[in-house]
Amino acid sequence: MTITGATTILGLIADPLVQARSPGLVNALLERRGLLGKFVLVPMHVGVDGLADFTRGLRLVRNFAGAIVSMPHKIAIADLVDEMTPEARLVGAVNVIRRDAAGRLFGTMLDGAGFVGGLSDAGYTVRGRACLLVGAGGAASAVAFALAKYGCASLTIVNRTQRKAAELATRVAAANPSVRVSTTVDRHARFDIAVNGTSLGMRPDDALPLTESLIDVSALVAECVIAPEMTRLLTVARERGRAIHTGVPMLTAQLELMLNFMGVA
């Protein structure tokens, strides 16, 4: 690989960043396609307080093509782009941006398609399943809409802030009237798939996003956290005899989609 003045820059915008797997995965994919050097993805550590100024600056970088957007910026950056795809507008969040020649920024949301695609690649289906989702942020919202879109029978959304869970449930139900959407866990409930859509698990001292009682009534426990790959939730779930699904397949399933959106032919 040779970086030259003609290299087009791609980015990963996140905070924290040290645990990120996207730079290694994307650059390896570019290398396999013979495009590393023509393009390169670099990590961009941007805090919440600097996101607006940083995004404005990206409009001026003429060899910047686009970026993956990760926690905690997926919702905030939706207000900073010029245009969003219908998927991103529905979710209210963005996880990939693209810059055009005029400096306009376009956003889309691929986390939901990536999550369902990762499940499918691992041999799991969403259609007809009873699903539990913890979280109501950007990634969780994308997963919620995707689970409903791809035919889950029911979706229960729980979140630390009940109001956010209720708002997300209302939006998902309106877009998918055939899916039973709730924010209350019935004491007799059983779930085929339970998903952690929060950032809990990125740090070793994080609390469990699901209680052990919810883990015990879930056939498959799945993560959206990518690093570490084996979160405390997955470790506990496996110890309690549950099938587990890491967050990495969600990312790998959408890498090609991300590159395509950023204009990597």
Looking at residue 265, what is its pLDDT? 76
| Interatomic CA distance for residues 161 and 79, integer angstroms | 22
Q: What is the pLDDT of residues 106-129, one digit of tens each?
A: 999 999 999 999 999 999 999 999
Nearest to residue 21, comparing CAs of 200, 223, 226? 226
Nearest to residue 98, comparing CAs of 31, 174, 8? 8
Nearest to residue 124, comparing CAs of 147, 157, 158, 95? 147
Looking at residue 178, what is its pLDDT? 97
Active site residue 74: yes
Classify 179 as helix, strand or coil.
coil
What CATH number belongs to 8-109? Answer: 3.40.50.10860
Nearest to residue 168, comparing CAs of 150, 181, 186, 184? 181
pLDDT by position in tens, the chain (length 265)? 689 999 999 999 999 998 899 999 999 999 999 999 999 999 999 999 999 999 999 999 999 999 999 999 999 999 999 999 999 999 999 999 999 999 999 999 999 999 999 999 999 999 999 999 999 999 999 999 999 999 999 999 999 999 999 999 999 999 999 999 999 999 899 999 999 999 999 998 999 999 999 999 999 999 999 989 999 999 999 999 999 999 999 999 999 999 999 999 7
Number of neighbouring beta carbons within 10 Å of residue 171:
17
CATH says 112-250 is which class? alpha beta
Give the residue range(s) of CATH 3.40.50.10860 domains in the chain.
8-109
Q: What is the pLDDT of residues 64-96, one digit of tens each?
A: 999 999 999 999 999 999 999 999 999 999 999
| Interatomic CA distance for residues 44 and 27, integer angstroms | 15
Give the residue range(s) of CATH 3.40.50.720 domains in the chain.
112-250
Cis peptide bond N-terminal to 249, omega within 30: no
Looking at residue 32, what is its pLDDT? 95
